[in-house]
Amino acid sequence: MIFCLSDARTYCQDVIRQGVDPDSSEALDVINEATNLLLRKGHWAHSLKRIFIRTYNNVFPCPASIEAIRKVNFCNRPGFVFNQWYEFMDSGPGTIFNHEYNTVGLDLMDQGIFPTFFPIGTTALNIIAMSTEAGDIDKEIRIRGFNSSREEINPTTPGEVIKINRWAGGVEGTMENPLSYDRTSNEFLEISSIVKPTTAGYVTLYGVNFDSVQATPTIHFLGKYGPNETQPGYRRYKITSTTESDENCILALAKIRYVPLVHDSDPLLIQDLPSLKLMCKAIHEMNHGEMADYRVLRDEAVELLDEQLKDGQAPQIMLDMDEEMSFGSLPDVG
């Protein structure tokens, strides 16, 4: 059974606040807060998921529902996942450029959190936003970032606001008279943040380069945002030992990200109602200044999640180690 928000509303209502309406926004806020806090405490029975992606541009962008990659396979070969310190290690590899093969094999290297899936590149572009839904026409998106001189664009405004355009006939990828579509007056080399309204459909962001002779622009896909994404941010990984034109097929085991629940049919990110209930009660104690009681209840909630995790694991003992530290490379100290 997969529990949904409606189940948590009923199960946890008596510990959120006496007499609270389980359908209230207050109950929703506490359940979301409890979920967020528990996800940070570890890998639980339902907090890892497999994702498959085919990508170019040396970039593996995580979906909105993914916090970070834990393990990765390139086709059938396992790779490593390195953090942001990897390029700055004393022993190398040093700075990894997109056009150089200066590592041994295909691996992922954490680049941090960005508001777009892909970087704009080396040429500054105007930005355009497109939706298939008529209800999104003229809604506005605020984009902040830097120009080709690495200067912040309109720092006192800040950034630039553009209207969402609609694909011709609501058919994604179809444009009529692209020159008439609303776009930024500034050219962006880097986007630092996006503030988007709640929309009726998905909104796609492109970098565009309009040729003065041809009416058809050259477009560069930057990101696609769900209706409830209002301040998007995605973890982005660089793929080593590959070029921008190479296709990479990646299977990854990933830690899910906290995304606030909205609809009663939304599946719970913490699929253990007793632990979620304890965490809701812990938040109640914290809000009343009882931090010692908060910690006791929080630890009990984590213990229940740990029991759930062990309950679903196979009994085999799994060994996982980097090949540089395999048994064969251990020194002989006998």
DSSP string, 61-103: EPPTTEEEEEEEEETTEEE-EE-TTGGG-TTS-----TT---S
What whole-number distance in Å separates Cα of residue 49 and Cα of residue 171?
Answer: 32
DSSP 278: H
Using CB atoms within 10 A of its CB, is residue 106 exposed (0-12), middle (13-18) or buried (19+)? buried
Q: Which of 261, 135, 141, 139 lies closest to 200, judged by CA?
A: 135
Mean pLDDT (whole number) for 173-191: 90
- What lies within 8 Å, CB to CB, of 226 at 6+ separation is 64, 202
What whole-number distance in Å separates Cα of residue 27 and Cα of residue 24?
Answer: 5
> How many beta carbons lie within 10 A of that of residue 43, not counting itself?
14
**pLDDT for position 288:** 93
Q: How confident is the model at residue 317 (pLDDT cuts 50, 70, 90)?
A: low
**pLDDT for position 96:** 79
pTM (2 d.p.): 0.86
Q: Where are the domains of the chain?
A: 5-40+259-311, 48-115+235-256, 126-232
Q: How confident is the model at residue 221 (pLDDT cuts 50, 70, 90)?
A: very high
Summary mean pLDDT of the chain: 89
Q: Is the pLDDT of residue 326 over 60?
A: no
What whole-number distance in Å separates Cα of residue 241 and Cα of residue 104?
Answer: 7
Q: How confident is the model at residue 213 (pLDDT cuts 50, 70, 90)?
A: very low
Mean pLDDT (whole number) for 238-259: 90
pLDDT per position as a tens digit, 133-150: 999 998 999 999 999 999
What whole-number distance in Å separates Cα of residue 87 and Cα of residue 148?
Answer: 25
**pLDDT for position 330:** 56
pLDDT per position as a tens digit, 117-134: 999 988 999 999 999 999
> Residue 223 forms beta bridges with which residues?
205
